[in-house]
Amino acid sequence: MEPLKVGLIGLGTVASGVASVLSKNQADIIRRITRTPIIEKVFVRTLERENPYQLNLTTDIDEIINNHDIDIVIELIGGIEPALTYIKTALTNGKSVITANKELIALHGNELLRLAEENKVFLRFEASVAGGIPILKTLREGLAANQIDSVMGIINGTSNYILTEMTDKGTDFSECLKEAQALGYAEADPTFDIKGIDAAHKLTILASTAFGMPLQFDTMHIEGIDTITKEDITISRQEGFAIKHLGIARRSEQGVELRVQPTLVPLTHAFANVNGVLNGVFIQGNAVGEQFLSGRGAGSEATASAVIADLIEIIHNQQTQYSAPALGYKVNNLSPLSILPKSAFNAGYYIHFKYDDNADSQALLAQLKSLATDQLHTSFKIKLYNENQRVIVVCEKTIEESVENLLNSAMLIEGIEETKLIRIERF
């Protein structure tokens, strides 16, 4: 049988991992697809670079996306352009495409999926979410009999590493960020990671796959971890919670919540033990109940594992003339769903009120307790942390608008200098 000729776009960390895994696991892969996968060409920006696997490099992208001998294109350069143009050209030319580009799929995936369907080829992107964890295939196929009620995840290793270090060492955010950068866990410009944008791209893909809705990045509520202090972490643990950066997609009769945010999770929940650069995803299905997957969310070979799994799936699809659509539904069967505004979020809340040096803490406690009783419309406990100059309220589920009203009222009290809310998920 003819070898399977693959064209790689890019030769960075993940692409090198693809070459490594294809080489060392070649025998098993051939047994699965009955064809020998060969990296025929690799597009790079310059030929003056390391090439440890002695691959056939080119600086001419047409040798891949317009090459009739290439069967499948794997895009691993990231970003929007020129990756978008390259993928569109490859799909139009009848080539199936695999990508790990979460930003591109979150922002342009609807267009690309339609183009793939029109040209009767496949677009796959398992590696775009949670690295080596096969979460998209789990949602798309393994849980296809379920209505998915919610999917939540620790899906950015950088932010999880920083929060873990802040927790374990009692150090502040800026110090842990510098450490993450020194170790290569954070970029020189960490904005996408610490501000939650990377996680929001991934949650967009998770939500669409879980709920059968079009990709809708622009409706996401996004909060980063750069506002979290070591005092927040210390007090949260005293209250029985760990702080994790979660992506949350939840469906109800009122609509869909799409949010990326720092979140308090019980110390007894599996999320509390997903530490360092690991990822974890929690799913609730109406037939299967609760499912939890965790593992390496990034890294050369972990991500390559997902890329090559997509490669094997595409070959099986071509051989059997059957495939599960990339989001679990054909493009025309995706259903737009109403996205809830932030004011309608329904959650538990950790609320802190920081007071100044001259404030009467006991008087503030009494005033805040009265305000919370009037405005939260749910049960709560309130506690004074004199050593941190904070009053902490932990409340059960309520509508966020009620919490916002409480925060606005509290800022009118003399002596209150700062307020903050962190949402709680109790599962």
Which of the residues are catalytic? Answer: 202
Residue with tokens 């080489």: 23
* Cβ proximity of 96 and 122 under 8 Å: yes
Does 187 carry a binding-site annotation? yes
> In degrees, to the nearest 5, what angle opens at C-alpha 81 toward C-alphas 75 and 83?
15
d(CA 77, CA 79): 7
| Torsional sign, CA 98, 104, 109, 111 | negative
Phi, psi torsion values for 326, nearest 5 degrees: -60, -35
* Cβ proximity of 213 and 119 under 8 Å: no
* Cβ proximity of 364 and 151 under 8 Å: no
Does 244 carry a binding-site annotation? no
Q: What is the 3-state secondary structure (H, E, C) of the chain?
A: CCCEEEEEECCCHHHHHHHHHHHHCHHHHHHHHCCCEEEEEEECCCCCCCCCCCCCEECCCHHHHCCCCCCEEEECCCCCCCHHHHHHHHHHCCCEEEECCHHHHHHHHHHHHHHHHHCCCCEECHHHCCCCCCHHHHHHHHCCCCCEEEEEEECCHHHHHHHHHHHHHCCCHHHHHHHHHHCCCCCCCCHHHHCCHHHHHHHHHHHHHHHCCCCCHHHCEECCCCCCCHHHHHHHHHCCEEEEEEEEEEEECCEEEEEEEEEEEECCCHHHHCCCCEEEEEEEECCCEEEEEEEECCCHHHHHHHHHHHHHHHHHHHHHCCCCCCCCCCHHHCCCCCECCHHHCEEEEEEEEEECCCCCHHHHHHHHHHHHHHHCCCCEEEEEEHHHCEEEEEEEEEEHHHHHHHHHHHCCCCCEEEEEEEEECCC
Binding-site members are: 102, 187
Binding-site members for NADPH are: 102
Binding-site members for L-homoserine are: 187
